[in-house]
Structure 1
Amino acid sequence: MVSLSAPVSRDRDASRTTLYPFTRIDDDKARLWLAGQWEIATREELLGRLGGLARSGYRASARARYGVEPLAWDIALYTDITRRGFGCGLLDEADAWNLLRNVVPQLARTYDSWQEYAEDYLLGRRIWREDLSGRASSPQSLPAPQSVADAHVTALLDPADRKSPWNLVPWDAIRRPDRPVGR
């Protein structure tokens, strides 16, 4: 489940296979990121934002404008925010896992592979970035170009990359999140 946020987490110090979002303990980094990127400072704000992403997220405006619903984009963000909420202590471990489990059924019904999930994630990011570019004061204020996200997701899908979280766990494991892989 934690690997659902892998396309969002491009930082070198990001952990893509553990609930804790970084390779080293850094609760302040998680707290600052939530405050700066999402204006989340309290548990209530965190749960409210997660609820919005789970219910409709960015896919609601994408559906209205383009007739598509890139669920993967919202779930990648949801997973990333959940992990960072755990990382800074706004969520305990049990709450974080329960929140992640809550979005799995819809995800499992929607996608059949990491490839499908990746394609929909990139579509959602493209729509989000286009919407931002229409409101941005300058190109420098925009997040990383789409080509950076495309390259990152391509690397996650590369079958030669034995360290990719998407190669470590088959997509079907999402349907049995409480069982170890291979059972």
Structure 2
Amino acid sequence: MRLSSMWNWRRRPRTERRYPVPLTTHQLWMVSLSAPVSRDRNASRTTLYPFTRIDDDSARRWLAEQWEITSRDDLARRLDGLARSGYRARAQRQLGVAPLAWDAALYVDISRRGFGCGMLTEAEAWTALKNIVPAVVGTYASWREYADHYLLGRQVWRDGLRGTSDSSLPAPQSAADTHLRALLDPANRTSPWNLAPWDTIGHPDRAR
């Protein structure tokens, strides 16, 4: 990030000023499904809003550039596609395994950005996140299992980009590996996966 951009970013209000109430344990768990995608230093992993500072335009621009989402209808179609089959359908054909975690992480990330730019209300965003929970809980028993399938799905997706220009290629798989190791590290006190362990969603919700 250039100095001018960094300065402008730091002048923006912090997310907690607009959304001062901390997430409950269940809410943090649901938001944490997108933690593997949130590698950027400006990403928030403990709020429904996707950034550490308020930047609605960035959320809107990212949805348009990365997903061709420019309306609520576009957003609804993308979320429905990820929930129904997503990229795991290709993985199933290629590997005989359907890594739901990759699609779930993208689903939650897109929902949060949709909320961030005003395409979804806060209530609608939480409803969207709740809709994906039963499938995820029914498929995995730990964050490690979730992380392993996320990496598998990401690899299949990345392999499908071969032949595109270098400028459009995503970060190498090693970058995703490193990020997930940090999320799974029990000594990492800032990891949302340590703040909201996997079995959190199976216990009564509570304030943090």
Note whether the superposition's TM-score is higher than 0.5. yes
Q: Residues 92-111 of structure 1: matches in 2 within 5 Å?
A: 92-111=121-140
Give, in whole Å, the separation in 2 of the partners of 1:124 and 1:181.
33
Pair 1:6–1:127, CA change in 2 (3 A):
same
Change over 3 Å in CA distance of 1:131–1:179 after alignment to 2 = same
Q: Is the 8 A contact 1:8 1:80 kept in 2?
A: yes
Question: What is residue 31 of structure 1 aligned with on the other side?
Answer: 60
TM-score by length of 1: 0.94
Q: Which amino acid aligns with 1:132?
A: L
Kindly tell me: are residues 181 and 69 of structure 1, through their superposed partners in 2, closer, same or farther at Cα, counting changes over 3 Å?
A: farther
In 1, Cα distance between the equivalents of 2:67 and 2:133? 23
In structure 2, runs of 5+ residues without a counterpart are 1-29
Q: How many residues align?
A: 179
Aligned partner letter, 2:79: L
Alignment match of 2:50 (pick from 21, 32, 45): 21
1:73-101 superposed Cα distances (whole Å, 9 cap, x missing partner): 00000000000000000000110000100
Q: Give the secondary structure class of the aligned counterpart of 2:74.
A: helix
Select 2:86's aligned residue among 57, 68, 90. Answer: 57
Q: CA deviation at 1:20?
A: 0.4
Q: Give the deviation of 1:175 after TM superposition.
A: 3.4
Counterpart in the other structure of 2:173: 146
Q: Are 1:180 and 2:198 counterparts?
A: no
The corresponding residue for 2:192 is 165
| Alpha-carbon distance, 1:48 to partner | 0.5
Larger radius of gyration: 2
Which runs of no fewer than 5 residues in structure 1 stay unpaired?
A: none
| CA displacement at 1:17 relative to structure 2 | 1.1
Q: Pairwise CA RMSD of aligned residues?
A: 1.3
**Aligned twin of 1:115:** 144
TM-score by length of 2: 0.83
